[in-house]
Amino acid sequence: MANNSRQNNYMCSENDERHVLLVQYILGGWISCIVGVLGIISNGLSILILGNHRMRYLSTNIYLLALSIVNLIWLILYLTMNSIRFTLIVPKFLANSHDDDQHVYDDLIQRFTPYVIPLMNTLQLCSIYYTVAVSFDRFLYLSYGLSAETICTVRNSLRTIFFITIFSILFILPHWFKHRVEFTADNNIRVRLTKIGENELFRRIIHIWLYIPVVYALPFLLLIIINLFTIKLLHKFYLNRRQTLRLTSALSTHNDEQHERDITLMLIGVVLLFFICRFPMLINHIFETKLPLTSFSTSYEKILPLTKLFSLSNCPFRHSFNTTVNFLQVINASANLFFYYLFGERFRETSFELARLVRKRVIRRRNVLRDNRNDCLPRKRTISNATIQNQILDQQQLSNLLNTEHDHLVKK
């Protein structure tokens, strides 16, 4: 009873609840759906272009290819679990329908929540450390120049991606045992804590002592250090090039330096976007550990469904901030293609070449279909003409036969 009264003290007012629902419906629902679909398309294009043989020779592109694959899968899961859910379910509550009415899609989502959420967390952790790895890769290129090619190989990048993936799977492994699905008395589906997830020490270790340092503090610190040194080296190389560049110098060397500089600027843009979108997640995670949006109790644990996710004193800000943070994750997973096209000259050239190849194949396919259709018409005409001629011949033969029989009868 004490827990229930405490929860009631933190319930949103009716006006606050409507404000939160509108934010979730517009920003967390439709806008996230639009941005997410564009992100799925952009990551799909990135996979096609970075997977091309012209791009696979560079270790940096291998990291970006892995990052695009992870972002693509994460966006599909996020749209399924959150954005589409908000667009389908929130209008019912905005229309003041009964809170106890369960949407079929909401039941389906809650059934898979204990399995999909840990998978999404694994993909996020992979994305974070892929970003760290590609930043360190560019730092080595700028630091050691041509000698870095013996270290920053495609094989080494694949090994690094493999180890990061295994580490992410093992680190998120305890999260798979936190929740379970139960059926209520009225045959509705609820997600509840397991005995392991209910343990207070387990939650402190997983959500605070391990999660914050590994998922936020360490990668943020590494990215800040690596990119500060990278920017410093880039500035130094730019000054040296201006001092040493002569009109008689080889133009190819200048072009190579410009190409390396563009790749580095592209990655700095990706990392900057990463910081802008990920840092609010750290703040939101700290809020969640202190004032969670989902209420748990040692005697009566439950994860509130979408109809009752209003359990904080500062309800509108907390829920709106949580929805905004989730939307920033969608942007972070969707917008890398912008930097690829803005700074990646070879990326642009490869994409245009692939577009030309696709266009040629479409035109060739259209011409083949048209030629086949044109070939079929004369054949049909020839067959019909032959059929008519055969019919005429058959009629002539029949007529001759009748005439012959008539002559025989006359003679008799």
Does the pLDDT value for residue 8 go beyond 70? no
Average pLDDT over residues 41-55: 88
**What's the rounded mean pLDDT across residues 347-358?**
77
* Span of 69-83, 148-162, 369-383 with lowest mean pLDDT: 369-383
Rounded CA-CA distance 289/310 in Å is 16
Question: 247 pLDDT band (50/70/90 cuts)?
Answer: very low
Q: How confident is the model at residue 326 (pLDDT cuts 50, 70, 90)?
A: very high
CB under 8 Å to 332, separation ≥6 — which residues? 273, 274, 277, 278
Question: What's the predicted TM-score (pTM) here?
Answer: 0.78
Judge whether 306 and 85 are in contact, CB under 8 Å. Answer: yes
Region 384-405: what's the mean pLDDT?
A: 60
Phi/psi for 68 (5° steps) reads -65, -40
The arithmetic mean of pLDDT across residues 179-188, rounded, is 77
Residue 258 CA to residue 32 CA, distance in Å, equals: 36
Q: Which range in 21-30, 33-42, 283-292 is most confidently predicted, on average pLDDT?
A: 33-42
∠ at Cα 124 (120, 128), nearest 5°? 170
With a CB cutoff of 8 Å and minimum separation 6, the contacts of 386 are none
CATH homologous superfamily of 14-96+103-246+254-294+311-343 equals Rhodopsin 7-helix transmembrane proteins (1.20.1070.10)
pLDDT at 307: 40
Half-sphere exposure of 123 (CA within 13 A, CB side): 21
Tokens of 375: 């070939």
Residue pLDDT, tens place only, 138-178: 888 888 877 778 888 899 999 999 999 999 999 999 999 88
Per-domain residue ranges of the chain: 14-96+103-246+254-294+311-343
Integer Cα distance of 306 and 89 in angstroms? 8
Q: What is the pLDDT of residue 343?
A: 74
pLDDT at 349: 76
User: Residue 140's closest CA among 149, 128, 132, 130?
Assistant: 149
Mean confidence (pLDDT) of the chain = 77
Query: What does the alpha-carbon distance between residue 54 and residue 45 come to, in Å, rounded to a whole number?
Result: 15
